[in-house]
A and B are shown apart, each in its own frame.
Chain A
Amino acid sequence: MKIVILGAGQVGSTVAESLVSEENDITVIDIEPTRLQKLQDRLDLRTVTGNAAHPAVLEQAGARDADLLLAVTQSDETNLVACKLAATLFNIPTKIARIRSADYLSHPEIFADANFAVDHSICPEQILCDSIVKLLEFPESLQVLEFAGGKVSLVAVRAFHGGPLVGHEIQYLRQHMPHVDMCVVAIFRHDSPIAPEGTTVVEAGDEVFIIAATGNIRDVLRELRRADQPVKRVMIGGGGNIGRRLARAIEDRYEVKIIEYNKTGAERLAAELGRTLVLAGDVTDEQLLEAENAGEMDVYCALTNDDETNIMSALLAKRRGARKVIALINRGSYVNLLQAGQIDIAISPAQSTIGTLLAHVRRGDCVAAHSLRRGAAEALELIAHGDMKSSRVIGRPIDQLGLPRGVTIGAIARQREPAGSTARDGDDEIVIAHHDTVIETGDHVIVFVVNKSLVPKVERLFQVDVGFL
């Protein structure tokens, strides 16, 4: 696949890195040559320096025979214009743009083919904000991802010493909760995956990934960990793009305080937010954290632009006694240092957003692709097409599919009525996968892959064999 990426910032570089390993021809355009140089030193791709919204620059980047345009520069306007140019001058079939302004997003008609010709718009800040909102909703979990239009959820939980999960075999869970169907899709112990079987014993410190119907998630979490108190008080360090969105999204549900360093920024925040208490000050200022009772917080989120500040601020809050601290950390090396340490959850903006992009790049019928564990693992939602003859997955029980080791099917979202009837999307039936579950045509299958290198194999498995058509 020939892909043109506009913008070599955080998002652009991560996407490039993730796609370059999947046998794609990638060209990155940026106005800043130093950023491109860094990228080129590391990865096997072409770079073009220039304004991404200029036809000549796009032409030079090979837009003429590109299959996919990813416009992820800092500027919404540049991204919009680039998509329009890609459609008008170069006929690029798929155009994805990063659009941050809520004002643009509230008028979806401007993305139509006749206007800016944006096929998919993504907003990394919004995705990030949504995932933090989920974490607040389920404070026991490390990560919550949704599939099948929100009906199926994947949660990651860390097993704690003395918790109800530890020291038991996985099959014990099912006896323990006969009314709740769920599937343990993976266990990571000391950062390496263990293929979960019925007899696997969960140990303290294990990261357990579980798939269940979204409505059951709370029950599942309650069984797995001694129920944490629901979140009431949240403090946000940093009122940038993400902090502001988060505060606005949660201020009606929780007691929210937000700290912003910049005085005028704080005033703007206070003007925009309703019930949130806006504080002007430094997120690493101990006295401020003390005075505003950072230690009494249920969750402290450090969301500034600076990794080191976020780490320090989160550590301070944790030391004061905040129940759970979340830090936004861009650098992968820092994340590896900190996860499971003092900081409860380290969120990587690039990793959280890349999943949405990946879904559009993947071959086959991929509805969603979420990157997990800093890009090592992946969870996919694939649609099974064809029939018993043309597909290698349909009509067979799961244990006879010959899935590679490290690939687990977690759940299936199935339309109740046969295709063609009046059934709407909302009528899906959720089937939690067992060894004898049979996949049918049109099923949305949620697959967990412990290692990204296995993804192409899974994709091939789900592709309809052309020879049989």
Chain B
Amino acid sequence: MAWLLAVSPVLGIIAMAMSLSHLLPIAISILAGDGMAALFAGSMALNFAAGSALWLLTRRHRRELQIREGILLITLVWMGGALFACLPLLAGIGLSFTDAYFESMSALTATGATLLDGLDELAPSLNVWRAELQWIGGMGVIVLVVAILPMVGVGGRQISKAEIPGPMKDEQLTPRVTQTAKGLWIIYFALTLACFVSYHLAGMSWLDALIHSFTTISLGGFSSHDASLAHFDSIGIELVAIVFMVLAGINFASHFRMWQEKSFRVYRHDSELPYFLGVLVASVIGVTIFLWANGVYPDLASSLRYAAFNTISVATNTGYATTDYAQWPVFAPLWLIFLGTFVACSGSPGGGIKMIRAMILYRQVYREFTKLSHPSAVTPLKIGGQVVPDQVVFSVLAFFFAWLATLVSMTLLLTLSGLDAITAFSAIVASLNNIGPGLHQVGPAANFSVLNDFQTWVCTLTMLLGRLELLTVLVILTPAFWHK
């Protein structure tokens, strides 16, 4: 087990670096005078102290990490990150540890499921903290660390790429991984800034604009209001949210190339984009007509308004709501949740199996059809004119099986513990795909506080599995991982 010691100094450095994230809520707390500054400072000190202790005690074991150590590091960073992040929630709101850990994991994985009531009365600094966690987790903790602290020693592509969602991570945007990470964060930051200003111009207060820009670009979905974006009841704000949710749902590698080449033509080479936009547009139109035909809304215009916002919010795994869409005729909310499982593009902060994997799976099925009628046919699987190596197809199939197995087993686990089928299923779908709200008892109008402790932990674990795309976490559970 001596090799484990090589991980801990890196973990220590990351903990120290991440403790700096408390500075924002401290500043907000002082500005707003909500009296939480001391609490955040304490959490920050604790975080920093733990990190430096870890580093000091084990730094002589420090060396270049191997792949196995890197995989372990990622899971530990996310589990530990949620642990430290929950301290202010634990002390500031008085949640139980289970609930606070759930809330901070939901934040860090950009899921957006909450079990808090009375968000409107919550201290502004705590709301900012929740939103900031989503923002950091959206693009990835390790990616951030690699971008700002190249000397940490996790420069290997192997490690940071485990955090960037999608099946084909060998795409090299720049020769150095540090540059790539930095580029991705610059795009992320620029989009957030644009979103922040737009929200304010559309009528939000600076504080609300800050919180919502964090949770929009990370496709997280936390809001500082119980009613989510329905609180504002403003078409302008909804339009801003729609635009930025769609932008954030696109592969950031495409944004990065656009920024590098200063040309919008690069989006034409993004093979996911037409499907992403196509599915969104078709779904919005379909849901609008469905709602209108079923008489949910009196006129087509309001059907369009609610259908467009909620469809795009759930499909991109954000999880804002402007209405309790769970009350719509059952086809519509189920369709939204279904979209949430695959619509977001790879390389975006969204969750689910990602559009690219859905395309590969679909084409693999089609390929088998061809093979059946033409046994001698040579049919490579192509995405955007490029052949996808069989190795990638296999890993996508394995991923999809793991995803499905997790979905089924976790749902069964929840029903075993006494939840009704719709709640259990939708809670797991919402957690696994980092959507946020589910249906029925955990629907957009309610929250996850109905779950008992066991059910909460199941959802917490599911969110982590979903964010790290399953295999990275599951491999740690295999005996082979621990063998020499």
Contact = CB atoms under 8 A, between A and B. Distances in A.
Interface of A: 260, 263, 266-267, 269-271, 274, 277-281, 288, 291-292
A243 to B, nearest CB: 14
B374 A270 contact: no
Contacts of A270: 378-380, 387
A292 B375 CA distance: 9
A270 B380 CA distance: 6
A277 B377 CA distance: 7
Contacts of B379: 270, 277-278
A279 B371 CA distance: 10
B380 A279 contact: no
A271 B380 contact: yes
Interface of B: 370, 374-380, 382, 385, 387
A55 B378 CA distance: 46
Contacts, number: 35
Nearest to A281: B376
6 contacts: A278-B378, A279-B374, A279-B376, A280-B377, A291-B374, A291-B376
Contact of A288 (B376, B378, B387): B376
Nearest 3 Cβ contacts at the A-B interface: A266-B378, A271-B387, A278-B378
Contacts of A292: 374, 376
A280 B375 CA distance: 9
A263 B376 CA distance: 11
A269 B375 contact: no
A274 B384 CA distance: 11
A280 B376 contact: yes
Contacts of B377: 277-280
A288 B380 CA distance: 20
A274 B387 CA distance: 11
Contacts of A269: 378
Contacts of B382: 271
B374 to A, nearest CB: 6
Contacts of B374: 277, 279, 291-292
A264 to B, nearest CB: 10
A281 B375 CA distance: 11
A182 B385 CA distance: 45
Contacts of B376: 279-281, 288, 291-292
A279 B377 CA distance: 4
A279 B376 CA distance: 5
A267 B380 contact: yes
A215 to B, nearest CB: 35
Q: Of A260, A263, A278, which is in contact with the most chain B CB atoms at under 10 Å from its CB?
A: A278
Contacts of A278: 377-379
Contacts of A277: 370, 374, 377, 379
Nearest to A266: B378
Nearest to A278: B378
A87 B463 CA distance: 70
Nearest to A258: B378
A103 B433 CA distance: 44
B375 A267 contact: no
Given A270-B387, A278-B378, A291-B376, 17 more contacts: A260-B378, A263-B378, A266-B378, A270-B378, A270-B379, A270-B380, A271-B380, A277-B370, A277-B374, A277-B377, A277-B379, A278-B377, A278-B379, A279-B376, A280-B378, A291-B375, A292-B376
Contacts of B370: 277
Nearest to B385: A274
B194 to A, nearest CB: 38
A271 B379 CA distance: 8
A460 to B, nearest CB: 54
A468 B385 CA distance: 62
Nearest to A292: B374
A280 B382 CA distance: 18
Contacts of B378: 260, 263, 266-267, 269-270, 278-280
Contacts of A279: 374, 376-378
A435 B374 CA distance: 58
Contacts of A280: 376-378
A271 B375 CA distance: 18
Q: Of A266, A270, A291, which is in contact with the most chain B CB atoms at under 10 Å from its CB?
A: A270
